[in-house]
């Protein structure tokens, strides 16, 4: 069933570390061989063995219109014929920037980069340059890309100056990263007691990288107050939640306003795009207007911008899609819950717009420690059983699932049927 993929993985392994260009793709935490993908079509993936899957990963978020959306495809093809890259300004960058500025009341100006990692890394530099301070507060379990100062491990829920979670990251670089506990305001207060040099708090306002764990409103309000009181900036990393939870991400749900917003994933419609934006006062610190340096040879690449623009225009002209996506996500999670309940397996779910998450856990998950206490072995088995039945779920218990506009009711029903069978095999 996976013969060609097994062979392809071995071949890749010889020339690419772990056989993959991003670690999670190797399926290490769920076991088995990752299917090598031949092509996508609408809501489906086809691997090189000819297996068909209902795709709930969607390239880890970007493909809100599914694979091979005609509008995005045509925008890209038109643009490709005019040349791939110039390293000079193009109108399509301004057009996409205008769309974003008109959408987010927290953004007057925006700069484009080529990945979420780059967006966050640049936003941090800007926050430090603007505030004239060095320390940052990040939350255990929040992922903000792989730049050095953000690769800091969770310290068993305790607030502590961070130590690097990867060899190759000098402690000198992470000593400015203070770790706090998600949804725990006291842990953040402690950071401000420990340091009077805090430039910013960075948070996924709807965490999607420890499973789906939304921040509660009181907590976000508290962060805003702490930032205001201490002259620090609040950064919402909406690389995943942007255009996913609602059209304006978490900002369509919470009343709390961030100072800087980072975007990625959906913003590129499947092409490599990231962005960070803020009010003019902050953005004017950025080179060449201001002193904070930031650059990129392929930044604002016209082909990538065209994909993003086509995708964003489509989202803006169909605001009701989020109601539909949310309803489908809820139906899917209710189905998974019922399947787990039928076998008396402890299970909880959550939904934010087109994002869905579940844990094999009897208790509420509100931070990274709770997430780590869920049954990841049960998840791994569930994942394998679903894959066998043609359902492509994220290959880790700490990821979020996504519904696309082309995911049909029938796909949802078939996925729920598979979930009943998978839960049954978990009990056996
Ligand atoms: C995916 C992600 C990133 C990193 O984006 P890349 O494009 O993978 O570099 C940063 N922050 C959040 C919240 C993400 O989900």
What are the start-end ranges of the H helices in 165-243? 171-174, 185-194, 217-230
pLDDT digits (tens, 9 = 90+) for 6-34: 999 999 999 999 999 998 899 988 988 99
Indicate which residue of 44, 53, 56, 143 is catalytic. Answer: 143
Give the rounded percent of residues in the chain with a pLDDT score beyond 90. Answer: 91
This prediction's pTM:
0.96
Distance 266 CA to ligand 1 centre (A): 11
- Single out the residue of 138, 65, 145 nearest to residue 113, CA to CA: 145
Is 90 exceeded by the pLDDT of residue 405? yes
Q: Is the CB of 120 under 6 A from ligand 1?
A: yes
- All structural domains of the chain, each given as residue ranges with its CATH number in brackets, are 3-68+320-427 (3.90.1150.10), 71-317 (3.40.640.10)
> pLDDT band for position 166 (50/70/90)?
confident
Q: How far, rounded to the nearest angstrom, does the alpha carbon of residue 138 sit from its chain's CA centroid? A: 16
**Annotation says 143 is catalytic:** yes
- Which of 148, 149, 209, 236 to probe ligand 1 with, by most ligand atoms within 8 A of CB? 209
Asked if the peptide bond before residue 36 counts as cis, ω within 30 degrees of 0, the response is no
Q: Is the CB of 268 under 6 A from ligand 1?
A: no
Distance 238 CA to ligand 1 centre (A): 9
Q: Is the CB of 204 under 6 A from ligand 1?
A: yes
Is 70 exceeded by the pLDDT of residue 157? no
- What does the pLDDT average to over 91-115? 98
Instruction: Specify the pLDDT at position 117.
Output: 96
Q: How far apart are CA 415 and CA 423, in angstroms?
A: 12
Give the rounded percent of residues in the chain with a pLDDT score beyond 70. Answer: 97
Across all residues in the chain, what is the average pLDDT?
A: 95
Helix then strand count (H, E) for the chain reads: 13, 17
């Amino acid at each position: 069933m996976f013969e060609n993929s097994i062979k392809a993985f071995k071949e890749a392994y010889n020339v690419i570390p772990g056989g993959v260009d991003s670690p999670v793709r190797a399926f290490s935490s769920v076991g088995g061989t990752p299917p090598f993908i031949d092509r996508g079509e609408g809501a489906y993936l086809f691997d090189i063995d000819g297996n068909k899957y209902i795709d709930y990963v969607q390239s880890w978020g970007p493909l809100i219109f599914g694979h091979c959306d005609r509008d995005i495809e045509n925008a890209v093809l038109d643009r490709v014929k005019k040349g791939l890259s110039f390293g000079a300004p193009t109108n399509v960058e301004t057009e996409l920037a205008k769309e974003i500025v008109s959408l987010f009341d927290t953004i007057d100006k925006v700069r484009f980069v080529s990945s979420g990692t780059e967006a966050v890394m640049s936003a941090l530099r800007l926050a430090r340059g603007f505030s004239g301070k060095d320390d940052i507060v990040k939350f255990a379990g929040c992922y903000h890309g792989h730049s050095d100062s953000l690769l800091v491990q969770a310290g068993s829920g305790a607030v502590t100056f961070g130590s690097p979670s990867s060899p190759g990251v000098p402690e000198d670089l992470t000593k400015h990263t203070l770790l706090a506990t998600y949804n725990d305001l006291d842990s953040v207060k402690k950071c401000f007691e420990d340091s009077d040099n805090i430039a910013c708090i960075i948070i996924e306002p709807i965490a999607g990288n420890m499973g789906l764990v939304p921040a509660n409103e009181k907590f976000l309000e508290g962060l805003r107050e702490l930032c205001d009181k201490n002259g620090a900036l609040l950064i919402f990393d909406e690389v995943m939640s942007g255009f996913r939870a609602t059209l304006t991400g978490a900002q369509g749900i919470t009343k709390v306003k961030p100072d800087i917003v980072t975007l990625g994933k959906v913003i590129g419609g499947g092409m490599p795009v990231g962005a960070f934006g803020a009010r003019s006062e902050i953005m004017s610190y950025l080179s060449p207007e201001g002193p904070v340096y930031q650059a990129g040879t392929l930044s604002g690449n016209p082909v990538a911008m065209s994909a993003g623009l086509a995708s964003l225009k489509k989202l803006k002209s169909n605001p009701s899609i989020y109601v539909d996506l949310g309803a489908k996500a809820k139906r899917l999670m209710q189905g998974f819950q019922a399947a787990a309940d039928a076998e008396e397996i402890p299970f909880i779910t959550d939904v934010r717009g087109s994002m869905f998450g579940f844990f094999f856990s009897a208790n509420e998950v509100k931070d990274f420690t709770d997430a780590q206490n869920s049954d990841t072995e049960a998840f791994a088995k569930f994942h394998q059983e679903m894959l066998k039945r043609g359902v492509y779920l994220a290959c880790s218990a700490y990821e979020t699932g996504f519904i696309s506009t082309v995911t049909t009711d029938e796909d949802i029903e078939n996925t729920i049927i598979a979930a009943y069978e998978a839960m049954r095999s978990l009990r056996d």
